[in-house]
Chain A
């Protein structure tokens, strides 16, 4: 599988990152099999978080068996020093490893949170302390929030080495700043920060729960993912053809093998075909069938 430099970390990540949240919905035996399948496909970058049910525990056995083959990303949603320090200890214990290669601020959503993590006694103090102690190698941040907030975080965290954010044809088709994750990608590349892409396979929000109760949703994702092999392939080709480091699978385990297949067959999408995908997504929000042209 193709690899690309992950910013300045010195690690070359595969063009697909395994989002280990998928293990949460599997029994241990199935989880072991999935990790083996992911490694067989050549994936060398895994990502997990303590909030993904018991994904850390289920990843543990195979992670320990193959520790040298896996660049491990983990995260914490804690914003203060004490919370982050405890959460890191807990993740190391649950995963059963001594080090985490990439430790990330999880799900940054507000300016206030950014203020807290960057202040004295903030979460980043715990990250840096762990880096000095050798339990963490690199620092990253994840967000599906406002692109401006992510840009601000890049400005304010000097030692940020990776950023994880959404990118897909639906957001690329929208021009407003609220959806301008392309600006994040551009800035990250200027700063040589590694870029990890989430929501590459999002089709649309789920219908209202009145129309489709949560327990009747066919996938574990909190959005409706694309789910046909040709669509998955197209979305992967599109995302990985942007100037990004790596693309993460959607969380539902039923979709993982299709994403692995797309990643193994990745060949790159030319610009006319990328525009075709964006154009196809441009009218998805528009139910009025009056658009005859492109």
Chain B
């Protein structure tokens, strides 16, 4: 038994070494980002600024946390980034402080206008941040290539896919076909929720659940409170719990006393860490699916 473990570990180490030499980035590289802009990196970036929380997580998950010199104000994971200079957010950036850090790579989104502004200043920038599970997996590879961390990106991708596959194996056949646990995700009490095509909607599907919102209602629709009662969800996830909503308050809403989630005590108040994990398409996606699966199928985990 012990011998097998040693042999498997040795095999993995050799595989990783082989991978890392085969997957080394040979600089200079030229990359096109999602805005169609060209990014040229003469060498592996050593002074990275991330203006998107999930990008920060990806850089750190690839073992390059020590190369970050600045982050946006919402980046809070892993905890070590808390000591870095905070530069506002992509829509309201502290450009002066960003320029003063002399970054050799800035990771940001494609919508805010920050990327073209930085490009005009001659600062290397990659615009494009993942919105879906698949895009996030591809983004690990992109960042891995930019940072010469391709082996780590392959390992990270494998780990996330492994977590999702393990969850899928456990929740499969948990009942008759089409018996996914129905979930009402409450983003805020007005109430806004998520459709099946949204990022969180796809995570729910991977965890053996489905949002009560139908595809035709859109990705982030405001739903009629009556609709929630009529759909009778088995589980309610309060994503707005960190912002003041409570389980008791939700259960006391008109008509809610009869719905299954309330009768079974399955109205769940999520904390801020969990909400962040469920909202960011990044390295913790696998953990997010495991978290959802535990909440939806407590008997199986």
A and B assemble together: no
